[in-house]
């Protein structure tokens, strides 16, 4: 029999070489060279420590609900306040303009370029004027004899301050007093109203008007907590805003035309409120009548 090497080709001979045995590795035989510390994906919850009721601090609540949007901030730095206060003295002559701001900066000891501190320009001067007059009105009304002195000077019966309509009388006094604060800048106020009516300035203008009407009602002693809380503030704001327009065309020295306009608006408001009350009573009467008829026929209403 011939040898195997002579019958098989060389390639097949190489395939007959024994293959090394397969080594199976187990996980227990693998030793890590470095310890890896894994962090949990979700950190464990830390429960707050309970504190006794004696350590809890009472949190003060504001008058408005947290759901109401807060008013835009009118915070100014000391340098800005100094420039704005000095600029108000130039408003009767130059109006609410860039020139008044420049002159105010000079009077306060600043350079002319300091007016760049006011990103809203002349509108910042208007906002500062409105906020400062509102503060002066609050300071006057909080004095003890303000309403009696106002009634004596304007020929108003002092007994009306103690009657049923005392809140409305005080509201009227506060509106007139606030309008008279504009006496020295009446000729310039039409330009200020034009700037306040610009689209970008309307939100801050309305917010300032709301703040004024809110202060007037609070100072007058209004204690309404129902839906009239909103309607009364809207009515006071509308009366004051329309009176400012009349004031710009008032040529009398004592602003008597503006005072007469405010008086007529309060009379119209009283007439309108009485009509609304009568209409409400009529609807209530007819509603109760319909319910009574339905129940008489056996309807479960």
User: So what's the pLDDT on residue 177?
Assistant: 94
User: So what's the pLDDT on residue 258?
Assistant: 93
Q: Which two tokens stand for residue 10?
A: 């060389």
User: So what's the pLDDT on residue 76?
Assistant: 84
Contact between 117 and 80 under an 8 Å Cβ cutoff? The reply is yes
More confident: 24 or 110: 110
User: So what's the pLDDT on residue 157?
Assistant: 74
Lowest mean pLDDT among 7-16, 143-152, 178-187, 288-297: 7-16
Torsion of CA 166, 172, 176, 179, to 10 degrees: 130
Residues found in the chain:
301
Distance CA 236, CA 225 (A): 16
Contact between 222 and 231 under an 8 Å Cβ cutoff? The reply is no
- For 71, residues 6+ apart whose C-beta sits below 8 A from its C-beta are 207, 210, 211
Sign of the dihedral defined by the CA atoms of residues 135, 141, 143, 148, in that order: positive
Lowest mean pLDDT among 33-42, 100-109, 143-152: 33-42
| 9 pLDDT above the threshold of 90 | no
| 108 pLDDT above the threshold of 50 | yes
More confident: 1 or 297: 297
pLDDT tens-digit map of 66-75: 544 444 455 7
Distance CA 72, CA 256 (A): 34
pLDDT tens-digit map of 160-179: 777 667 888 899 999 999 99
pLDDT tens-digit map of 246-262: 999 998 888 999 999 99
| 238 pLDDT above the threshold of 50 | yes
| 56 pLDDT above the threshold of 50 | no
Buried b / exposed e along 226-236 (16+ C-beta atoms within 10 A): eeeeeebbebb
Distance CA 121, CA 126 (A): 9
- For 108, residues 6+ apart whose C-beta sits below 8 A from its C-beta are 79, 82, 83, 85, 86
Q: Which two tokens stand for residue 57?
A: 């601090």
If you average pLDDT over residues 212-237, what whole number do you get? 90
Task: Tell me the average pLDDT of the chain.
Answer: 77
Q: Which two tokens stand for residue 28?
A: 């227990």
């Amino acid at each position: 029999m011939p040898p195997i090497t002579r019958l098989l080709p060389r390639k097949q001979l190489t395939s007959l070489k024994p293959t090394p045995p397969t080594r199976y590795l187990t996980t227990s035989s693998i030793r890590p060279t470095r310890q890896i510390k894994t962090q949990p994906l979700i950190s464990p919850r830390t429960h707050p420590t309970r504190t006794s009721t004696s350590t809890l601090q009472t949190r003060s609540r504001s008058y408005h609900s947290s759901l109401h949007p807060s008013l835009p901030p009118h915070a100014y730095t000391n340098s800005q306040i100094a420039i704005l206060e000095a600029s108000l003295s130039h408003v009767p002559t130059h109006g609410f303009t860039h020139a008044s701001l420049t002159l105010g900066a000079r009077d306060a000891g600043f350079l002319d370029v300091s007016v760049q501190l006011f990103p809203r320009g002349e509108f910042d001067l208007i906002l500062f004027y409105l906020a400062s007059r509102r503060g002066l009105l609050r300071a006057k009304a909080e004095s003890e004899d303000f309403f009696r002195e106002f009634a004596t000077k304007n020929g108003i019966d002092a007994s009306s301050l103690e009657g049923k309509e005392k809140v409305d009388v005080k509201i009227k006094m506060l509106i007139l007093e606030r309008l008279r604060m504009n006496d020295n800048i009446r000729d310039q106020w039409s330009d200020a109203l034009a700037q306040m009516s610009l689209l970008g300035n309307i939100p801050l203008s309305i917010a300032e008007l709301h703040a004024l009407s809110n202060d007037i009602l609070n100072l007058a002693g209004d204690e309404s907590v129902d839906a009239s809380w909103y309607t009364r503030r809207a009515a006071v704001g509308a009366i004051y805003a329309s009176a400012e327009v009349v004031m710009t065309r008032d040529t009398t020295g004592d602003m008597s035309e503006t005072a007469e306009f405010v008086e007529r608006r309060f009379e119209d408001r009283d007439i309108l409120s009485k009509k609304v009350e009568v209409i409400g009573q009529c609807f209530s009467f007819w509603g109760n009548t319909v319910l009574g008829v339905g129940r008489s026929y056996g309807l479960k209403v």
